[in-house]
Amino acid sequence: MKLLKSFFSFTFPLIVMLFMFSIYLLVTKVVDNYKENIINDYAIVVIANTPLSSISTLAGIKVKDIEPLSREKIIKNVQQNLSDSSIDLLQKKLPYFYKIYLDDFPTSLKLEQIRKELMTISNIKKIETFSNDHNKLYSLLILVQNIIFILFGAVLLLSVLLLSKQIKIWFFEHNERITIIQLHGGSLLYSSKPIIKIILGSAFFSSVLSSIMLFIVISNIHRIIEPEIMTLIPTVLSMEMEIFKIFILSIIIPSITFFGLLVKYKLK
Amino acid sequence: MILAKNLTLSYDNKKNIIEDANFLIKEREFIFISGSSGSGKSTMLKSFYGDLPIKKGNLFVNKHDLVKKDYSKLLTLRKDLGIVFQDYKLIQEYTIEENIMLPLKVHNYADDVSKAQVKKLLKHVKLSHKVGAYPAELSGGEQQRVAVARALAHNPSIILADEPTGNLDDYSSDMIWTLLKNANEHLGITIVVVTHRIPTDMGIKYRRFNIEEGVVYEAS
């Protein structure tokens, strides 16, 4: 019973932390997916007096493509109501239209920066970013992602405190054995082998349980979130990499906590 | 070899327990350290295996300077020592074989070598019939024999024993003295024993240091 209690004192904060992390990963995945979708549709329209020279980056974002809009097509759309001389004049005076596709979806701040950068190019007359509709939802998603990240940070801090407390208890419980081994020339690391085994076992158990919990959340996501938001969720949520990240974190956090305490004991 | 020059020891820099001690313990010697209770016998022995910082002076154990010791050097020194305690200090969760094997594991001996050595030592301390037993299943005398076997396991150059017979009856005490005597005579191990009860019929040459009010002197 005591053993079970001490095991869960360690695994519980670890599971909560890992679950929080997996939720963060899930939200990140949704945001990335949304970003990928909108970036394919999204373009900045630029009107210039003369043909535009190539632009490689805007506000640090790589320009994917600059697509000129056909001037003939524009003229064709309006030529029915115009005389030949007016069409000739239009051909001479009509500015050049371009669609600029970016590699990444810009935030409002970046958009403002892009606008300023484009305005420095002398032949550009007008810029249309069409960002309002996309931006509202995108900003909201980023906000949710940031809130979850902050929550994860807080949970991580609390978990590390609880983990270190439990490891200290284990050090205390194994104190006699550790002392005897050290008296025989065994290092602190060697004498702490039983604690390392418990930590690794608990970490593995926690990562498996957190992955199962994440799997349950993904499988039942349509029950958890509103149907309108369901459109944001990719139809296939592949989480292999995320599960790997959870596993790595489940090993790293307890290990760092353990080695931190080990250094502390060694200095003592 | 243990060399002390003006060795002064104290707990937490308070009153000196050992003051300005000067002595040399040569290889293969059998040494008794005696004195009344609280005279500082065990304190001095602790300093030999680096469990107590040195306040003043110098102490060399097997050429290891215990004043300048760091953690890794301390472990290296301890690997070359065998220590026997009054309260045995056996790991209760380990069987007696695992306890004896401990210094061999620290020395990274191969498993088969360790097992053979443990078997030999169990026979030597007359505990072959107790294979697989845990310390709690043994009497005090048997536990101390396991502790002596553990101290001998890696063939150390020095065995430090702190009141090894303090809790034992006469029969068990005699066995422990015989084991330590044999280790000195036949294996050439330097033995330093802290005791307030030196056996009358040791049958080997030994030296005795006495501690009185912090002063260490060689008694005749």
Quote the pTM value: 0.74
Chain B positions touching A177 (Cβ under 8 A) are: 91, 93
Residue A169, min C-alpha distance to chain B (Å):
18
Mutate which: B77, B80, B91, vs A, most A CBs within 10 A:
B91
For residue B75, give the nearest of A176, A180, A185 by CB distance: A185
Q: Give the model confidence (pLDDT) of A107-147 as tens digits.
A: 778 888 888 888 888 788 888 887 666 677 777 888 888 99
| Pairing outcome for strands A44-48 and A124-128 | antiparallel
Q: Kindly tell me if the per-residue pLDDT of B168 is higher than 80.
A: yes
Contact A24, A148 (CB under 8 A): yes
Per-residue pLDDT, averaged over B124-137, amounts to 93
Chain B positions touching A182 (Cβ under 8 A) are: 75, 78
List the single range of A18-22, A53-57, A202-206, B72-76 with lowest mean pLDDT: A53-57
Q: Kindly tell me if the per-residue pLDDT of B99 is higher than 90.
A: yes
Q: Give the model confidence (pLDDT) of A32-79 as tens digits.
A: 888 787 787 788 888 888 887 777 777 788 888 888 888 788 778 777
Q: Kindly tell me if the per-residue pLDDT of A240 is higher than 90.
A: no
Q: Mean pLDDT: which of A47-56, A76-85, B152-161 is highest?
A: B152-161
For position A134, what pLDDT does the model report?
62
List the single range of A123-127, A209-213, B106-110 with lowest mean pLDDT: A123-127
Domain that holds residue B93: 29-41+78-219
**Could you count the other beta carbons within 10 Å of the beta carbon of residue B162?**
22
For position B152, what pLDDT does the model report?
93
**Residue B155 or residue A241, greater confidence:** B155
Residue A215, min C-alpha distance to chain B (Å):
40
Q: Give the model confidence (pLDDT) of B26-35 as tens digits.
A: 999 999 999 9
For position A235, what pLDDT does the model report?
64
Per-residue pLDDT, averaged over B192-207, amounts to 88
Q: What are A173's two structure tokens?
A: 């419980």
Task: Answer whether residue B107 is part of any domain.
Answer: yes
Q: How far apart are CA A69 and CA A44, in angstroms?
A: 12
Q: Give the model confidence (pLDDT) of A170-195 as tens digits.
A: 888 888 999 999 999 998 889 998 88
For position B209, what pLDDT does the model report?
94
**DSSP summary character for residue A54:** P
Residue of A nearest to B73 (CA): A185
Per-residue pLDDT, averaged over B14-42, amounts to 91
**Could you count the other beta carbons within 10 Å of the beta carbon of residue B115?**
14
Task: Answer whether residue B72 is part of any domain.
Answer: no
Task: Answer whether residue B53 is part of any domain.
Answer: no
Q: Is there a contact between A190 and B106 if contact means CB atoms under 8 Å apart?
A: yes
Q: Is there a contact between A181 and B102 if contact means CB atoms under 8 Å apart?
A: yes
CA atoms within 13 A on the CB side of B143: 22
Task: Answer whether residue B167 is part of any domain.
Answer: yes
Contact A100, A69 (CB under 8 A): no
Q: What are B88's two structure tokens?
A: 């045995």
B111-B115-B121-B125 Cα dihedral, nearest 10 degrees? 130
Residue recorded with tokens 């292999």: A240
For residue B78, give the nearest of A184, A190, A266 by CB distance: A184
Q: Is there a contact between A186 and B102 if contact means CB atoms under 8 Å apart?
A: yes
Q: How far apart are CA A126 and CA A148, in angstroms?
A: 39
Q: How many CB pairs under 8 A join A and B?
A: 45
Complete DSSP assignment for A186-207:
--HHHHTHHHHHHHHHHHHHHH
Per-residue pLDDT, averaged over A242-261, amounts to 89
CA angle A240, A243, A246 (to 5 degrees): 155
Residue of B nearest to A190 (CA): B106
- CATH number for the domain spanning B108: value is 3.40.50.300
**Residue A106 or residue A192, greater confidence:** A192
For residue A184, give the nearest of B51, B71, B103 by CB distance: B103
Task: Answer whether residue B142 is part of any domain.
Answer: yes
B147: nearest Cα among B100, B186, B183, B194: B100
For position B60, what pLDDT does the model report?
93
Q: What are B82's two structure tokens?
A: 């065998």
Per-residue pLDDT, averaged over B86-94, amounts to 93
For position B68, what pLDDT does the model report?
83
Residue recorded with tokens 């990335």: A32
**Residue A35 or residue B132, greater confidence:** B132
Residue of B nearest to A178 (CA): B91
In sequence order, which residues have a C-beta less than 8 Å from that of residue B197 and are 6 or more positions away? B165
Distances in Å between the alpha carbon of B98 and those of A40, A171, B115, B122? 67, 21, 9, 12
Task: Answer whether residue B24 is part of any domain.
Answer: no
Task: Answer whether residue B13 is part of any domain.
Answer: no
Q: Could you tell me what percent of chain A has a pLDDT over 70?
A: 95
Chain A positions touching B93 (Cβ under 8 A) are: 177
Using DSSP, state whether A164 is helix, strand or coil. helix
pLDDT band at A237 (very low <50, low <70, confident <90, very high): low
Residue of A nearest to B48 (CA): A183
| Pairing outcome for strands A61-69 and A96-102 | antiparallel
Q: How far apart are CA B76 and CA B66, in angstroms?
A: 12
Chain A positions touching B76 (Cβ under 8 A) are: 185
Q: Kindly tell me if the per-residue pLDDT of A236 is higher than 90.
A: no
Tally of structural domains, chain B: 1
Task: Answer whether residue B136 is part of any domain.
Answer: yes
For position A152, what pLDDT does the model report?
92
For position B204, what pLDDT does the model report?
86
For position A72, what pLDDT does the model report?
80
Q: How far apart are CA B207 and CA A257, in angstroms?
A: 50
**Could you count the other beta carbons within 10 Å of the beta carbon of residue A139?**
12
For position B3, what pLDDT does the model report?
95
pLDDT band at B110 (very low <50, low <70, confident <90, very high): very high
Residue A264, min C-alpha distance to chain B (Å):
13
